[in-house]
Amino acid sequence: MPLGIYKPGQGYWVRVMTAVMAGVLVLAGGAWAWKQAALIRPPIPQWRLTLRSVQGDPAPGQEVVLIGTNPLTGQRASELGRAVIEEVEPNRIVVGRLAFEKGLNPSQADHVRSDSGFHARVVGSAGIPAYEPILVQLAAMGVVMVIGAGLIYYFVGMHRGSVEFLIATDGEMKKVHWTTRKQIIGSTWVVLFACFLIAAFLFGVDYIFAQIFMALDVLETTRG
């Protein structure tokens, strides 16, 4: 199938406006995909722990035990899990290869120690995701945009059936007698005048019937 535009120049404005409106829908779909992708939480294979009261020397490859209050049992100073030091920074370590029970993670630890004598208090923790969430959002939005652009190009530019329909629509639109500015203004004034006239008529009828019913004591007047 040739990739060129089928019958270029024919039905120009109808095809252009169709592509524009379809593009708006594709943009809306891309925005939806962006928001939905934001709900995807990437795995966190590493954690950066901020330390205080450090005793001993942490080293990469060293296995450590993370200690804290277990939220599942409420037990204090219990072993939450084990990890391996992968990077050492000033007053910080990055741990990975986590071995924790489900529902536990390094953010619940308040101490860390190793069998080699390293011990420190954990005063802060931050998960390091396996990938940036924005990359997933960009990928999801990009897929929607590329697919949408391809469908627009195919149906507005290449597909004979849809293109012939748009060209025929453009031909019918050229036969339409469009109202002039003067006619639109005149019609608007007629509609406004008719609305006020009907409102005045209904008000008068309502007032007359109200007076008749009050004269017959069917309605009672209320005085404030």
Can you give the pLDDT of all 224 residues of the chain as single tens digits? Answer: 456 788 888 989 999 999 999 999 999 999 999 999 999 989 999 999 999 999 998 999 999 999 998 888 888 888 999 999 999 999 999 999 999 988 899 999 999 999 888 999 999 999 999 999 999 999 999 999 999 999 999 999 999 999 999 999 988 888 888 788 899 999 999 999 999 999 999 999 999 998 888 888 776 655 44
Residue 113 makes CB contacts below 8 A (sequence gap 6+) with: 64, 65, 67, 119, 120
Q: How far is it, in rounded angstroms, from Cα 26 to Cα 142?
A: 11
Q: How far is it, in rounded angstroms, from Cα 104 to Cα 51?
A: 19
Residue showing tokens 């339409």: 176
Give the pLDDT confidence score for residue 3 in this predicted structure.
66
3-state secondary structure string across 151-198: HHHHHHHHCHHHHHHHHHHHHHHHCCCCCCHHHHHHHHHHHHHHHHHH
Burial pattern 186-223, b for ≥16 Cβ within 10 A else e, equals: eeeeeeeeeeeeeeeeeeeeeeeeeeeeeeeeeeeeee
Q: Report helix, strand or coil for 122.
A: strand
Instruction: Report domain extents, the chain.
Output: 12-37+134-174, 46-128, 179-224
For residue 27, what are its two tokens? 């943009």
Give the pLDDT confidence score for residue 223 in this predicted structure.
47
Closest CA to 124 of 177, 192, 52, 75: 52
Query: Taking the model in full, what pTM does it have?
Result: 0.65
Residues belonging to the chain: 224
Q: Is the dihedral of CA 40, 44, 47, 48 positive or negative?
A: negative
Neighbours of 136 (CB within 10 A): 18
Read off the DSSP letter of residue 41. Answer: P
Q: Report helix, strand or coil for 102.
A: coil
Does residue 49 contact residue 128 with C-beta atoms inside 8 Å? Answer: no
Neighbours of 89 (CB within 10 A): 12
